[in-house]
Amino acid sequence: MVTAKTNYTQWAAMQKSWLKAKRWASHDDCINNFAKKACLRAMKLTPKTAKGKFSPHNPELKRNTYKKRLFYAIAAGAGIKKGTDDEVMKPAAVSIYKKRVKRAGAIKAGFIECIKDLGFKSMRARTFAGGSASKSKGKLSRSHRLKATAFNNVSASGVIAYKPMERAKRHVIRAEHEWAIRRLQKANNTFSARKF
């Protein structure tokens, strides 16, 4: 409860200073700017699974280890018939392994479409067409609704990206508040005989 109240107080202070600094900006503009920058920061803070964590489970390893059996078990659980390792199981296990490695940064990529939808048009990163990350979306605040949303469509993003997003929100509130104060101070110094 205390944390929520603190965050609300910080947000209110930031919004007030930001609107003064921007002058002609609306509350919707403030919220959209915050949502866009929070998603950018969250994408940077969200961890990407290191490929080294997958390597002991690689079905293509020559040594026959206990960890190597993991993707064979996953393939069997997916309904692949056992047959011989070389003809049936191994290609299926290798295929699943490669897909998992490829998806190591999927949760980070899930923020890309959100950021674009929230107004950041110069995003160079791209999502794979048809993947879960490509189905993520953001919605701008319009018509004084005072609500911008970002939906990361990748499975488990709500668990893994929750803490990075919370850290990102706190960072953006602090950074935007400091920026607004500097801008207001600069404007004051322009019209003041004495600099503060």
Answer whether 28's CB lies under 8 Å from 145's CB.
yes
176 Ramachandran zone, left/alpha/beta (phi>0; psi -120 to 50): alpha
Residue 1 has pLDDT above 50, yes or no: no
Q: What is the pLDDT of residue 2?
A: 38
What mean pLDDT do residues 93-121 have? 78
Q: What is the pTM (predicted TM-score) of this model?
A: 0.69
At 136 the three-state DSSP class reads coil
Candidates 153, 149, 148, 117; CA nearest to 133 is 153
What mean pLDDT do residues 128-133 have? 78
Copy the structure tokens of residue 12.
Answer: 């209110």
d(CA 196, CA 188): 8
Q: What is the pLDDT of residue 87?
A: 63
d(CA 67, CA 79): 20
At 149 the three-state DSSP class reads strand
Mean pLDDT lowest for which of 57-66, 134-143, 153-162, 176-185?
Answer: 57-66
Candidates 61, 161, 37; CA nearest to 107 is 161
> Length of the chain, please?
196
pLDDT grade for 86, boundaries at 50, 70 and 90: low
Across the chain, what does the average pLDDT equal? Answer: 78
| Predicted confidence (pLDDT) per residue in 17-50, tens digit | 888 888 788 888 889 999 999 999 998 888 776 5
Beta bridge partners of 151: 137
